[in-house]
Amino acid sequence: MQIGRVAEITGLSLHTLRHYDEVDLLRPSARSEGGFRLYTAGDVDRLLVIRRMKPLGFSLEQMRELLEVVDALPSATGAQEAALRERLAGFTALAEDARRRMVERVAMADELLERLRAR
pLDDT digit string (tens) for 40-83?
A: 999 999 999 999 999 999 999 999 999 999 999 999 999 999 99
| Domains of the chain, first to last | 1-56 (1.10.1660.10), 57-119 (no CATH)
> What phi and psi values does residue 13 have, to the nearest 5 degrees?
-75, 160
Query: Whose CA is closest to 60, among 50, 70, 69?
Result: 50
Taking CA 113 as the corner, what is the angle to CA 112 and CA 117, rounded to the nearest 5 degrees? 120
Average pLDDT of the residues in 91-117: 97
CA distance 19 to 92: 25
pTM of the predicted protein model: 0.81
